[in-house]
Structure 1
Amino acid sequence: RMARTRKAAAEKKEDWSDSDGEATLDGVTEDKRELPPKNVESMRRKLLIGRVSSLSSGASLFSIRHPRLGTAALFQLSATSCDEVLLLEDEYRTLFHGDTVIADGRPRLLSPFNPLFLVLPYLEKKKARYETLEEILRDDECPAIERLAGNEQAMRELERVADVTDACDEKLYKLNEKKALEWIRGRFEILKNALVANAKLHDSITTNEEVLDRYTFGVLSDHLSAATPGNLAAAAKELLQIKDAPKAEAAPEPLGMKRKMDDDENLYGCEMPPAKKTPTQTATQKKLQQASKGTKSLASFFGKKTN
């Protein structure tokens, strides 16, 4: 009976030694231990914040030239909406969602963006003549701009800034600067009222009409091309009578402090620096000084001789 027990123990030891990995105290090999799941491409998600209408199905992300920057920016477009995607820079942010982890937890905001502001720069470039919308919305670097032709809001408001004519069963468009400036003025007034009502601006802005107009136009300018002589942004600034901020004035001196403007003005503060005192000479130094009168200094023997 003892021989059988020893034989069974030896067979069990051989079974453990033949396993693929090293045995553990739990009787589970290292290779069979449960490891964290690998990253799956379909699980790479982002945190997106926006209106319910903006998150509806049918919306897609496109790279479109930003009117202010002149470079590509990310926009979400659908048949009924247009939103700019704004990334809030916040490093080292991770989110937990159920049993998964969102590694890049930086929030993306969907900010409503009037698509007509995206069209205006292209209308300005082709303002010399009537052209089809397909010809106007042509950009080799950002071809997604042509998708605005299928956006209801852009097409609905396009005639507010452009003249339209029919030719060969096609609609041709041309920028009307007067209509465009009036449209920009309307957006300016809407934005101004919204800022006063909802933005909780400082009293120094709301109580000064000139400052409020300048602040409002600054916000609106983020949707317009950079102001250059002759373009819509510069013309709108002139139409709305937006004045540039005055240069910073010199800070007034504190009350009770006056500065002398005489020749002996004190440049060192309240007290003049002490005058340098000439050291007194000893009797021996005085005798040496008298004895050296009429003699040349040692440096004169090494100077350049003149003929």
Structure 2
Amino acid sequence: MLRHPHSNTGVMFAIGDDIVEEVLRFEDPYRSFFYGDSVIEDGSFTLLCEIHPMFLVVPYLLKHAQGCFVPLDQIIVDDEFPAIFMLLENPKLQKALYIACNHKIVYEKTVWQYDEQLLLKWLEQRFERLKKSLLENASLHKAIQEDVRIVSSVKFLDIVLRRYTYSVLCDYIPQSLSLPLKTYLDIQDPDPLKENQVSGDKRKLDDSGEIESYYDPAAKQRKPAALSTAQKKLAAAIYVWRISTYRVRKSIFLKQMWTGNPIRFAASRIPHATRGLNEPTPYGKRMDRLRRRIFSEVVTPTDVKSMKVVRVMSAEPLEQQDDKKVTYYPNLPMFHYLSKLLRLHGLFFDDHIIWRQVQQQLKTNRGKIVCPVIGQGKRAQIRESKK
């Protein structure tokens, strides 16, 4: 299993002494093979497609040897796919490295550096070789053969063939090299206008000839045929039936509405009602959002309670929050209730927020004395007022 140079995922490769082949497996559940007088039920088959090992090493050159000289054993390193080290002694790879990379000898050891121009030059050689093979072996796509047959132009054949060869070659190089290689090879994008001219399946209209018209001016003047007496009676009966059915449905609807039975399509009017006593406050809406964020998430079950950290109060000072007033926060009993609820579910504040500090700040905002002197608290004031 090696890393594919284009998709960056694991792909099966067969590595020999001087050859590297990609393992391609094709599976079809509704296919069988005839072998002699017997039938093989498994219709899948495996192909070995030879690939130059330099294509597998290019991503590692981009990652480890860009801008510096590095030994080959430090370039071809992959913790996820350690089998890549089997390419170190490949003779084809050694020969290609001298063409596609900068190299020098340091202390009797060859070190390598990534060079984009040299690599593009090497890819151009592979490009020309692949294009020649596609042309000689008649492996072109049917659509390309059809376009070439229609135009019958050597120049057009070369443009289409270069574009097709480039698309095949891009399947085995990193995506970051696709655009530089396209510019280096001068690959021309297809022109939609020319493609429409090339299409031979559609007939071209002759501007000099007259266009046949199917418009019938007499059709607009035709009047609908008169209904017979039986058809008029049938239409009147259908109209009466619809009116009576509508009245029955309306009476049933009003009866259910006044008796208090739930009505399915009456709930859509609730959001459009005016604000009443049951409309949630801004704080209630925020607590609802917090509840959905906490209890709607899927938590991995553990032996202890969930340790998710939830921030109920903002860490910003109150004077910096223009859109929030003192009435935005709950009163002290509600605060204690929320505290117990959060502790029950194993939810805590952030480390920089202290419970006592928040409570004291809320008391101060309401005009209460925080930590009064003994004899000057609320109970002492009540006793003094009773004397």
Q: Compute the TM-score of the two structures, normalised by the length of structure 2.
A: 0.46
Match of 1:291 in 2: none
Find out whether 1:177 has 2:126 as its counterpart.
no
Find out whether 1:213 has 2:162 as its counterpart.
yes
Pick from 174, 177, 188: which aligns with 1:225? 174
Deviations 1:24-82 (A, max 9, x none): xxxxxxxxxxxxxxxxxxxxxxxxxxxxxxxxxxxxxxx11111222111110011110
Pick from 158, 179, 197: which aligns with 2:136? 197
Stretches of structure 2 lacking an aligned partner (at least 5 in a row): 225-387
Shift of 1:147: 1.5
Letter in 2 for 1:172: V
Q: 1:75 to 1:257 in 2, by over 3 A?
A: same
- Counterpart secondary structure, 2:49: strand
Equivalent positions of 1:259-298 (< 5 A) are 270-271=214-215, 274-275=219-220
Equivalent positions of 1:1-307 (< 5 A) are 63-93=1-31, 104-126=42-64, 127-199=66-138, 201=140, 202=145, 204-205=147-148, 207=154, 208-226=157-175, 231-247=176-192, 249=196, 254-255=204-205, 270-271=214-215, 274-275=219-220
Distance between the aligned counterparts of 1:113 and 1:136, measured in 2? 20
- Counterpart secondary structure, 1:173: strand
Distance between the aligned counterparts of 2:123 and 2:7, measured in 1? 19
Letter in 2 for 1:196: L
Q: 1:101 to 1:75 in 2, by over 3 A?
A: farther
Higher helix proportion, which one? Answer: 2
Higher strand proportion, which one? Answer: 1
RMSD of the TM alignment (CA)?
3.6
Whether the 8 Å CA contact 2:27–2:43 is kept in 1: the answer is: no
Distance between the aligned counterparts of 1:120 and 1:168, measured in 2? 25
Aligned length: 207
Distance between the aligned counterparts of 1:96 and 1:271, measured in 2? 60
Aligned sequence identity (%):
33
Match of 1:53 in 2: none
Q: Compute the TM-score of the two structures, normalised by the length of structure 1.
A: 0.57
Letter in 2 for 1:271: Y
Higher RCO by CA contacts (8 Å cutoff, separation 6 or greater): 1
Q: 1:272 to 1:66 in 2, by over 3 A?
A: farther
Q: 1:140 to 1:272 in 2, by over 3 A?
A: farther
Distance between the aligned counterparts of 1:92 and 1:235, measured in 2? 43
